[in-house]
Amino acid sequence: MDPGNGTQIYEFFLLGLSEEAEFQPLIFGFFLSMYLITVFGNLFIILAVSSDSHLHTPMYFFLSNLSFVDICFTSTTIPKMLWNIQAQSKVITYSGCITQMYFFILFLSFDDILLTIMAYDRFVAICHPLHYMVIMNPQLCGLLVLVSWILCVLHSSLQSLMVLRLSFCTHLEIPHYFCEIKQMVQLACSDTFLNNMVMYFAAGLLAIGPLVGILYSYSKIVISVHGISSARGKYKAFSTCGSHLSLVSLFYCTMLGVYFSSAATHSSHSSATASVMYTVVIPMLNPFIYSLRNKDIKGALKRLVEKSTIKGPLFLE
């Protein structure tokens, strides 16, 4: 990697959410708590789905994938941030920055596409209930996840390769707590027109496309539910997609909030603070949204805890 001034770039500096020393212990404790809640909460969802045969359905198959991705998503950024705070260092190597950016884009893209697949699953379940298990068969579910992974890997690889072609000069401070692609492109001293074109085109395609798919699915669901005569039937139909709709609303509202807040304030630190919502808070809330609003998950978690408490004493004996 040869930058414009003839020197070689080995590291960047992550400025984090605040440069004030007195706030660092508070930020460390805050993010460590949220990270642990995210990991263990989503891990419980995965264990509950895998251990309970009643939850071996397409809906919970996609949910367990979402929980796995949320664990990976937060693990790409938070551990490095915590390590830097603990070590009182802001340094991240060039290769580490590119790697972090690659996996961040990969898991964020997959999260977005998976929410769309889950919306389609709810559409089939409510609008075509008699053919649900035929349409959403294990082969199709596996294929949807596999194709999503392939698309996200290609997208993330393209974005990373586009950054690798850039040259960097002297000002290598990233006003964020992770290597965000937009911030890295802005630091380049070479021409970034092609990077910006590819970045905004891919982001628009992966944001607008899934959103259109989600809105279409829910428009069909609303029309189908409107045709149900009984109030109990309507409530039951809506309750099956309530958790997913809550998660989608949070995801897109916070993403739009980050976009408009950064555009309005033109402050990178404001954008970094706002991005905490979709990078940390939403993955943490995912287990609570699905466990609090879902009787099946509650029951599976209860049985999982009961099994562990029963097997514990027997193992000790």
Mean pLDDT, consecutive 10-residue segments, the chain of 317 residues?
49 84 89 95 90 86 94 95 91 93 95 93 90 94 96 95 87 86 87 89 84 91 81 72 82 73 56 80 87 72 73 49
Structure confidence at residue 65 (pLDDT): 95
What are the tokens at 244?
């997913």
Q: Does the residue 316 lie in any domain?
A: no
Structure confidence at residue 245 (pLDDT): 84
Q: Does the residue 274 lie in any domain?
A: yes
Structure confidence at residue 136 (pLDDT): 94
Structure confidence at residue 29 (pLDDT): 94
- When divided into structural domains, the chain yields a total of 1
**Pairing assessment for the beta strands 11-14 and 91-93 based on DSSP bridges:** antiparallel
Q: Does the residue 3 lie in any domain?
A: no
Give the domain CATH number at 264.
1.20.1070.10
Amino acid at 203: A
The pTM for the full model equals 0.88
- The three-class DSSP label of residue 49 is helix
Structure confidence at residue 270 (pLDDT): 63
Give the whole-angstrom CA distance, residue 164 versus residue 102. Answer: 11
Q: Does the residue 269 lie in any domain?
A: yes
Q: Phi and psi of 284, rounded to 5°?
A: -70, -35
Q: What is the dihedral of CA 143, 146, 152, 155, to 10 degrees?
A: -80
Q: Does the residue 69 lie in any domain?
A: yes
Q: Does the residue 2 lie in any domain?
A: no
Q: What are the Cα distances from residue 19, in Å, to 88, 247, 316?
A: 11, 32, 49
What are the tokens at 232?
């109990």
Structure confidence at residue 190 (pLDDT): 85
Structure confidence at residue 207 (pLDDT): 79
Taken in order 144, 66, 68, 296, is the CA torsion positive or negative? negative
* Helix segments in 128-192, DSSP class H: 132-135, 138-164, 181-187
Q: Does the residue 104 lie in any domain?
A: yes
Structure confidence at residue 259 (pLDDT): 64
Q: Does the residue 5 lie in any domain?
A: no
- Structural domain harbouring 131: 11-309
